[in-house]
Every structure is written in C-alpha cells, then in structure tokens.
Amino acid sequence: MASTIRVRAISSGETTEVQVLIQHPMDSGFVRDAKGEIIPPHFIQQLTFEYDGRNVFVADWGAAVSKDPYVKFSFKGGNKGDDLKISWVDNKGETDTTTAKIQ
C-alpha cells in the first residue's frame, strides 16, 4: 500500500526546511454521519521526525487538527543526502512510517 506520508526536505546550508502532507481522516469524534450516528474519533496522536538518531520535531495532536494535515517546519542542521524518518501513531494504534532523503 502506498505511504500516507508525502515529504519534501530541503537543506539550505545551515537549516533544513521540511514539508509534509499526511493522508488521514482526522475524525474528531464529534461529527455525525448521514444516518445521524457519531463517526468515531480517529486521529493522529503523535507525529515524529527523526534525524541522525534524535527527534527534531515531535507533535502531540488531538481532535482539533483537520483532515489530511500539512506540516511545515525548519531545523538546524541536516545535510543533502541524509535520511529523515517520519512516523505517526493514531488513537487506534495504527501507524505509518517513511524515510526521505534530504535534498
């Protein structure tokens, strides 16, 4: 199955800028479906970016983050060709992971 994580990491000497788009329903648990029944909560709880053995960005999310979340951030360091590992875990225990090369 294709990864849910699209990532682009670009190094500009001292810092690396990372953009990520994740495919996930991010159901809050407050919305009802057409039949009037609650759509159960299903959202990413933790999103982690790992570089060179350490976490450069960790996000603790809740129900307020919208569907198909997009994240953009920068961190100090990161060289072209190095690996950046991204993983998420949601409230149902589902996960996905991907590794991208810094450009």
Partner 1 sequence: MASAALALALTAISSTLAADTPDPVADAKAFRNYFVTKFPNVKPEDFVNGPYALNEDMRRQWEEKEQFPPYEFSLEMGKEMFAKPFRNGKSYADCFPDQGIGIRQNYPYFDAKEGKVITLELALNRCREANGEPPFSYVGDDMAALTAYMAFTSRGKPFDIKIPDDPRALEAYQNGKRYFYTRRGQLNFSCATCHVQNPGERMRAEILAPALGILNAMPIYRSEWGGMGTISRRLTTCNSQIRGVPLEPQADEYRDLEYYLSYVSNGLPISGPGSRP
Q: Which residues bind partner 1 (CB under 8 A)?
A: 6, 8, 19-21, 23, 66-68, 70, 72
Alpha-carbon distance of 72 to 38, in angstroms, equals: 31
Q: With respect to partner 1, which residue has the nearer C-beta, 52 or 73?
A: 73
* Closer of 32 and 54 to partner 1 (Cβ): 32
* Residue 25: CB minimum distance to partner 1, A: 9
Q: Of 40 and 52, which CB lies nearer to partner 1 in the complex structure?
A: 40
CA distance 22 to 78: 22
Q: Cβ contacts of residue 49 below 8 Å, gap of 6+? A: 18, 55, 56, 57, 58, 73, 75, 84, 85, 86
In whole angstroms, give the CA distance from residue 43 to residue 62: 7
CB of 53 to partner 1, least distance (A): 26
- Least Å distance, CB 54 to partner 1, is 25
